[in-house]
Amino acid sequence: MSDKTITILHLYSNDMNIYGDRGNVLCLKCRLEWCGYTPEVIEYNQGDQFPSDVDIIVGGGGQDSGQDKIKSDLQKIGPKLRELADNNVPMLMICGLYQLFGKFFKTADGEIIKGIGLLDIETYGKSERLIGNIITHSEQFGDIVGYENHSGQTFLGNGVQTLGRVRLGAGNNAVDVSEGARYKNVIGSYLHGSLLPKNPDIADFLIEQAVKNRYNEVVSNNIDDGLTRLARKVALKLPR
C-alpha cells in the first residue's frame, strides 16, 4: 500500500449513524485503497479530542434524541469545523448532521436544537415524516439515488447552493424541489442508502478534493464500477 495517507474523520459515529450511513465511511476507505492511498479512519464522539489533521469529514443521520445528545459537543467543535470548511476540506453530512450543520433544527415538539451555521439552512420539524426512495439530479453528479426518512423540512438561504433537484420523493422539504446543500467542498444531503456506495461519483469528488489539498496531485482512478452501475439502474426503477 502507498505511504500516502488520507485521514477520514467519522463524526459522532455512536449517536449519528442510522440507515447504513457508516457505509459512506467504508466506501471512501475502499475507494481510497483502490486508488493507491492509505485510508485512516478516526471516530469522533462527545468529549473526544478533535484531531489536529483531517482530510475528509463524514457524518450521518440520527433520531432527534441523538441530535439532542451531541448538540453541546457540536457547538464546541463548530468553529474548528467552519475553519476547515473555509479551507476547502471536503465533508459529507447526512440528514441529522446535515440539519445541525445549518442554523437550527426546530423539532416537531417545538424544541430548538442549535446548529453550527456552517450551512445557510434552517430546518423545521413537521408531524408528517418524509419517507421513501428518492432520486434527484445534479449537473455535476448526474442522478443521485437514495432513501430518505425525516420529520425535518429544510429551507436554503442564499449562502448555499442546492445539491440536486428532486425527480422522485421529497428532498429538503415538501414545498420546493431542492435536495441537499453545497458550500465550498461541503455536501449536505437527506439521502441515506448509504449514499456513497450507490453514488460513487460523489465519493470520488470527496477523495479528489482531499488528495488535491493534501498532496496537490490528481487521483488516478481505474475502479471498475460495473456492478454499481447495474445496481443504480435497478435503484432508478424502484417505486417511492
Could you list the active site residues? 95, 192
Closest to 90 (Cα-Cα) out of 99, 98, 81: 81
- Collect all residues with Cβ–Cβ distance below 8 Å to 226 and sequence separation of at least 6: none
Query: Which region, judged by CB under 6 A, interacts with ligand GLN, from 48-56, 60-68, 83-91, 171-179?
Result: 60-68
How far is 82 from 24, CA to CA, in rounded Å?
21
Does 181 contact ligand GLN by CB under 6 A?
Answer: no
Spell out the SS3 assignment of 163-176. Answer: EEEEEECCCCCCCC
- Is residue 136 within 8 A of residue 167, CB to CB? The reply is yes
Provide the pairing of β-strand 56-59 with 91-94: parallel
Residue nearest to ligand GLN (CB): 61
Site string for ligand GLN, 84-113 (x = CB under 6 A): -----------xx-----------------
How far is 40 from 233, CA to CA, in rounded Å?
32
The least distance separating ligand GLN from the CB of residue 148, rounded to whole angstroms, comes to 8
Q: Compare residues 15 and 55 and give the one whose CB is closer to ligand GLN.
A: 15
Does 63 contact ligand GLN by CB under 6 A?
Answer: yes
Does 62 contact ligand GLN by CB under 6 A?
Answer: yes
Does 198 contact ligand GLN by CB under 6 A?
Answer: no
Among 15, 55, 64, 179, the residue binding ligand GLN under the rule CB under 6 A is 64
Closest to 89 (Cα-Cα) out of 7, 180, 24, 145: 7
Site string for ligand GLN, 133-172 (x = CB under 6 A): ----------------xxxx--------------------
The least distance separating ligand GLN from the CB of residue 108, rounded to whole angstroms, comes to 8
Does 194 contact ligand GLN by CB under 6 A?
Answer: no
CB atoms within 10 A of CB 217: 10
What's the Cα-to-Cα distance from 107 to each of 16, 93, 113, rounded to whole Å? 16, 19, 8
Contact residues for ligand GLN (CB under 6 A)? 18, 61-64, 67, 95-96, 149-152
